[in-house]
Amino acid sequence: MLVNETKIRVYYEDTDQMGVVYYGKYLRYYEIGRTEMIRNLGISYKQIEDSGILLPARSVKINYIKPAHYDDLLTIRTIVDQIPKVKFLIKGEIYNQNNELLNEGEVVLVFFNGKTNRPCKAPEVFINTLKKHFI
């Protein structure tokens, strides 16, 4: 299993008039967590895309537990608990600076060949890099 943590501050632009994080911003937070997780593997989204593979979202589930507020320091925990084939399930949890669980969710991405416009298997280099965390 791979678990990666990324810290992010809640900025004013992320909040509504009550100083609470707007519900749609959590998708952005989860994307930041995914991007940093992949970068910490030694690969980048850009490298994957430059190889002709895209990763569009197929589905998203989010459970709002408690609100995040302006200036909170959040920890985005990104979790991969299975090796992807074509679908790539990524779970996420968001905690505040008091380690309170605020939000949990999951995103299913699909490995997609940009030339054929068809789903495809995950690149072997990506799988091999990910497997190191499952031993």
Active site residues: 16
Residue pair 40/133 in contact by the 8 Å Cβ criterion: no
Tell me how crowded residue 62 is: count the other CB atoms within 10 A of its CB.
16
**What CA–CA distances, in Å, run from 11 to 8, 22, 29, 100, 121?**
9, 11, 12, 19, 38
